[in-house]
Amino acid sequence: MGKKRMVMRFVVGILATIMLVGGTTSMQAQTHVKEPVNIYFTAKEMPDMRKFMPAPPDTFGIQWTHDIMRYYWGKDLRIKDPERAKMARADAESNIEWLMKEFSVPFGLQMSREETPEMYRLLKDATSTARKICTDVKKFYARQRPFLRFHESTLTPEEEEFMSNGSSYSYPSGHALMGWCIALLLSEINPERADTLFARAYMYGDSRVIVGAHWQTDVDAGRLAATVAYGKMHTHPMFLEQLEKAKKEFCRLKGRAMPGVQKGDLEKYYTTEEMPNLIKCLPAPPDTLNEYFTYDLMRYFWGKDQRVTNPELAKVARRDGIWNPIDTLFSSFNEALGMTISKENTPAIWKLLTRSLVTTDQMRVAPKAFYHRTRPYVRFHEHILTYDKEEDEVELGKEGSYPSGHTSRGWATALLLSEVCPEHANEILKRGWDYGESRVIVGAHWQTDVDASRMGASIGYGALQSNPTFREDMKAAQQEYMRKKNMK
């Protein structure tokens, strides 16, 4: 419990600082001047969440049970932690000027429409565009909000009329999407503050569960959707131009030089110390007295059932468990990409993926050692589907379960390839999603290991975007893909 208290003290410290410096703003009526917004992609041009993520849970099943337990967690926290409840109520605001003020402390620079006009324009246009990924999905699922299902009130009664009007749906959470998108954008501008930015964004999303406006699965989906939309925007020249202006504005205000392209044949883009620290960005894994652990248990037995009832899925899951050579992972995306990925056939894409994963792989080392979470098959004295030799299984059991390195690699690869080849984003992202689920099916990981790893990969992907050498490699990979495609 000592380690978890250390992490919680870090998070509470951020919370207290934000509330003190300016995060206590209540949802007051504000006068805003109407101004044009640059939408980089329409809803139809965005990747379709319905094709690469599961539907929100219905009124039965493991995820639904988890949603109910988290809803009551939120209600309980309103009473037990008044300060966190106060913050959750304030977080119901989603106006971009309020969010700039709220994220100024973790960002390390006071932002406003007047003081940082280029950053204001970037955040306004980018978050407006990112929300387009939710437009059709919200209407398609038309998921009812939790407070309406239970005929209860929320912590933000002034929101309830709007949320009850029959056109404001629950899945995914637009607030969670906006908060995570802002953290991605600001951490790309100022990578040194990534830890505090993502910690704040994570709390901003969880606030929607606390007030009773969203289910937990809405919030989780909103964060992942933000990362996908963020990647998509990196394929638009107007977005990249505005991002560059924002970076120059930040460097000017901070008295810094713009970072340049690194020279030489690099193995990785950043060192471990230069990458975000997942211990500070994400919550600790659940212990055995947590509602999340009940969720983990149910998903573990779901995975065991899949091995018997779905042999084809089990076969894919077993293949997905191969860690080295890394080309085995890349080849699993060949069908989705419509092209064979290899050092010989696609050297630029291969170099981008290899350098990126060597960089993001570093992020899992610290939390694995810090938490040293017992793997599910070890806890239950069972076997996993991956290995034929018992000694390999024993060796894996010595390594911490949280987060999942396989899932991180799979989701990071999917995000990278979706930027290389946006036209096949749905298929690529679906393969990346399934790659993570394979870890639950074989019994090597808990579901919360997998969920946290997708978030960790999203954070790592954002860190890569801040590196000029990575941007050059991405451009070369995109050009190579187009050349190969046109040769067919």
The reply to whether 149 belongs to the active site is: no
pLDDT in tens, 245-260: 999 999 999 999 999 8
Label residue 178 by pLDDT band (50, 70, 90): very high
Better-scored residue on pLDDT, 333 or 324 = 333
pLDDT of residue 233: 98
Whether 18 has a pLDDT exceeding 50, the answer reads no
Interval 178-191 mean pLDDT: 98
- Report pLDDT for 7: 45
CB distance 440 to 485 below 8 Å: no
Nearest Cα to 285, choosing from 199, 200, 397, 368? Answer: 368
Of 22-36, 66-80, 154-168, least confident by mean pLDDT is 22-36
153, pLDDT greater than 50? yes
| Catalytic entry in 78, 208, 445, 454 | 208
**Catalytic pick among 214, 307, 364, 454:** 214
> What would the mean pLDDT of 139-158 be, rounded to a whole number?
95
Per-residue pLDDT at 289 = 78
Per-residue pLDDT tens for 449-484? Answer: 999 999 999 999 999 999 999 999 999 999 999 999
Of 365, 453, 385, 443, the residue nearest 414 (C-alpha): 453
Active site residue 318: no
- The single residue of 67, 195, 206, 218 carrying the catalytic annotation is 218
Give me 402's structure tokens: 């949280």
Give residue-wise pLDDT tens across range 373-426.
999 999 999 999 988 788 889 999 999 999 999 999 999 999 999 999 999 999
- Per-residue model confidence (pLDDT) at position 19: 43
pLDDT band for position 34 (50/70/90)?
low
C-alpha pair distances (Å), 432 with each of 19, 86, 138, 406, 425:
37, 37, 23, 10, 10
**Number of H-type helices and E-type strands within the chain:** 25, 0
**92 in Cβ contact with 23 (< 8 Å):** no
Cis-peptide into 325, omega within 30 deg: yes
Determine the pLDDT at residue 488. 66
Name 109's Cβ contacts closer than 8 Å, sequence gap at least 6.
Answer: 116, 190, 250, 253, 254
Contact, 94 vs 124, CB < 8 A? no
Active-site residue, selected from the candidate residues 89, 175, 200, 307: 175
Question: In sequence order, what are the residues at sequence separation of 6 or more whose Cβ sits closer than 8 angstroms to the Cβ of residue 95?
Answer: 30, 32
User: According to the model, what pLDDT value does residue 33 have?
Assistant: 55
| 16 Cα distance to chain centroid | 24
CA distances to 2, 180, 244, 374 from 8, rounded to whole Å, are: 10, 20, 35, 21
Number of Cβ within a 10 Å radius of residue 129: 25
Residues with Cβ within 8 Å of residue 25, at least 6 apart in sequence: 90, 93, 98, 101, 102
One DSSP character per residue, 385-412 reads SS-SSHHHHHHHHTS--SS-HHHHHHHH
Q: What is the mean pLDDT of residues 90-96?
A: 96
pLDDT tens-digit readout, 99-125: 999 999 999 999 999 999 999 999 999
> Does residue 420 contact residue 468 with C-beta atoms inside 8 Å?
no
pLDDT tens by residue, 79-91: 999 999 999 999 9
- Is residue 175 part of the annotated active site? The answer reads yes
Average pLDDT over all residues of the chain: 92
Share of the chain above pLDDT 90, in %: 85
Burial bucket for residue 258 (CB in 10 Å: 0-12, 13-18, 19+)? exposed
Residue 411's nearest CA partner among 367, 446, 368, 361 is 361
pLDDT value of position 188: 98
Angle separating helix axes 174-189 and 237-254, nearest 10 degrees? 60
Contact 227, 461 (CB under 8 A): yes
Q: How confident is the model at residue 288 (pLDDT cuts 50, 70, 90)?
A: confident
Mean pLDDT for 5-26 is: 43
Q: Which residue has the higher pLDDT, 214 or 264?
A: 214
**Region 206-233 average pLDDT:** 98
Phi-psi region of 430 (alpha: psi -120 to 50; beta: other; left: phi over 0): alpha
The pLDDT value recorded for residue 31 is: 42
